[in-house]
Structure 1
């Protein structure tokens, strides 16, 4: 397989990120103005579930066969996501977007979930090596539905209604499924071609959006099984990229997906003061993402890599010195 680039990144993953991020943007900025059933074409919440699967995959893939150094890992992850999220929060508040905060859940609810998953990952990794991923995922499914059914949801079935204390529990099966896919990437077999999985995932996401808005089958009940379908789509994209090469345009967009996710509604709010045509607002909002990515997210990403590498080197040096000290004492 040629699924690994020189950087160690799995090709095809950024394609999934790009499609999911654009689906969120279009759902927020175009969907409400589209007529009839077409308003369900683009989906937000299912796209976030796909993000959770991707996140679990990307976090676990490097640690399938090597030791996790907790300090460097957490430092790298939080330097990567906290400053951009904080900058977006400040921008949103300056524009009067009070609901854009980690408590009420607009946009930032999933970032809070990610932060919880990062903190739990060292424990998750150790537990998975003791009892295996299937049992861990099964337990998370029980916990997810325990919260979803026990607490209920808002009229739209949104998982973000549970608040930062419980949102992560509802989304945890999707994140753990991503870890499982990373662990078994080269052993899993997938029938069909990439277009069938793309179409099936998109159609199912739209159907679940319609069901959420028009029936009692809200997202909070359907996102666990949808995460399994999203996982198959992700595997299909990885396989397609390994066989035919990645879709470079989508891979480039996917590299900026965090900025797209954080900034699109903020940019749309600012643009809305001057123009209200949805397609124009959408296009200009996407254009305004780039400065945020270039000057905020990208430097934070680089800083996170440097901090993680530096901390890993210091830890390796400390262990080497400790080992040498033990050898000297033993020799004496």
Structure 2
């Protein structure tokens, strides 16, 4: 591993921490109906309207995933470590195979542990966003990652945006490269679009700019690392960390004075993408952040983070229907370690093998592209002037994906 790539190991730690935050967020959604409007509501307000919200800011953590994805997916292409045909083939394999595995797991859990709607609170996340039966048509639709909402594996809504950005990645990379000198003002423009998108209720304007900010970071990564190396003082990085974290949850900590559904409240939520980008910058350049994010347990979480993201919601939902969501604390006590355990197994059986298959498919597709290119060149040479030597030029080899 090169020194440059090793300095990005902290991003695996970010991914791991964000996945745990999403898990805690879904546990908090189970607890919400039993906190609001009751004697425990002051404790709920303290947990959600202070920086404590960072521990379970699930939707905001997805913004961190989006910025991170825009960075790490673009890097191999920018460094010449992948070619477009091989990249797309490998990317689809790495994306879809774990998704299909998660859908099969969720379907099996629903069939094995019946879900009685009366055992959970109506009108809440557990009832609204989690299926109680397996509909084959819905299963196939969710397997395509094209629906807007999902209830077999609730977290797949974000993978739909991953798929959309993957298809837009060539445009994003070209724009980021051409406009790399103006990366900072362009990132500021993306921040404005995210805020306006949230106010206007446009998910595309909220989420896609986050990916693009990640791509801008990828294009200017070496400059960012040089800038960070010249600023080793921990105080500076502590301030940037605090500001980024507060922006990530600004819409929550402002709720005592700003109505969340108001224009101002929505605009503050739009700043979560800015906070997410700031945290990624901290993870890349902050000395203390790198030390924390690169410890073995956090890196392990990063390794299984995608698997954890895919399997935890069906597990929590199964336990909530089985125990009753009034026992949300028991769901959390059992469900969190069980999700980690299942995620480790899912990674070993499904996700990790999909990585190897993706590399093989990417290389095979690239070899096919090179073969077709060589045949085209060969035909053009044969049709050339009679006085030509007839020697065929070798096809320029493009780097493989992965």
> Shorter-chain TM-score: which interval?
0.7 to 0.9
Please tell me whether the aligned partners of residues 91 and 358 of structure 2 are also in contact (alpha carbons under 8 angstroms).
Answer: yes
Q: Secondary structure of the residue that 1:292 maps to in structure 2?
A: helix
2:280 paired residue number: 234
Please tell me whether the aligned partners of residues 271 and 284 of structure 1 are also in contact (alpha carbons under 8 angstroms).
Answer: no
Aligned CA distance change for structure 1 residues 64 and 219 (closer, same or farther; 3 Å): farther
2:198 aligned to 110, 125, 148, which one?
A: 148
What is the count of residue pairs matched by the alignment?
Answer: 315
Any unmatched runs of 5+ in structure 2?
Answer: 36-42, 116-126, 131-141, 391-402
Please tell me whether the aligned partners of residues 195 and 271 of structure 2 are also in contact (alpha carbons under 8 angstroms).
Answer: no
2:162 paired residue number: 114
| Residue deviations 1:56-108 (CA, integer Å, cap 9, x gap) | 00111112253963332221111111122233234334526883554325311
1:307 paired residue number: 361
Any unmatched runs of 5+ in structure 1?
Answer: 153-165
Shift of 1:144: 4.4
TM-score, length-normalised on structure 2? Answer: 0.67
Shift of 1:141: 5.2
1:168 aligned to 204, 210, 219, which one?
A: 204
1:64 paired residue number: 78
2:389 paired residue number: 331
Aligned CA distance change for structure 1 residues 219 and 299 (closer, same or farther; 3 Å): farther
1:298 paired residue number: 352
2:400 paired residue number: none
TM-score, length-normalised on structure 1? Answer: 0.79
| Residue deviations 1:273-332 (CA, integer Å, cap 9, x gap) | 259412333222222222222211221122112211222233234434544555564424
Aligned CA distance change for structure 1 residues 287 and 54 (closer, same or farther; 3 Å): same
Shift of 1:242: 11
Aligned CA distance change for structure 1 residues 224 and 66 (closer, same or farther; 3 Å): farther
Shift of 1:196: 4.9
Distance 1:279 1:115 in 2: 33
Distance 2:28 2:194 in 1: 31
Aligned CA distance change for structure 1 residues 19 and 200 (closer, same or farther; 3 Å): farther
Please tell me whether the aligned partners of residues 247 and 274 of structure 2 are also in contact (alpha carbons under 8 angstroms).
Answer: no
Q: Secondary structure of the residue that 2:56 maps to in structure 1?
A: coil
2:149 paired residue number: 104
Is 1:182 paired with 2:218?
A: yes
Q: Which moved more, 1:241-250 or 1:170-179?
A: 241-250
Shift of 1:224: 4.6
Q: Which moved more, 1:111-120 or 1:235-244?
A: 235-244
Shift of 1:258: 1.0
Distance 1:249 1:196 in 2: 26
- Alpha carbon RMSD of aligned pairs, Å? 3.4
2:251 paired residue number: 208
Q: Which moved more, 1:10-19 or 1:36-45?
A: 36-45
Shift of 1:145: 4.8
Aligned CA distance change for structure 1 residues 314 and 180 (closer, same or farther; 3 Å): same
Is 1:256 paired with 2:304?
A: yes
| Residue deviations 1:198-226 (CA, integer Å, cap 9, x gap) | 45444443443344695336885335533
Please tell me whether the aligned partners of residues 195 and 268 of structure 2 are also in contact (alpha carbons under 8 angstroms).
Answer: no
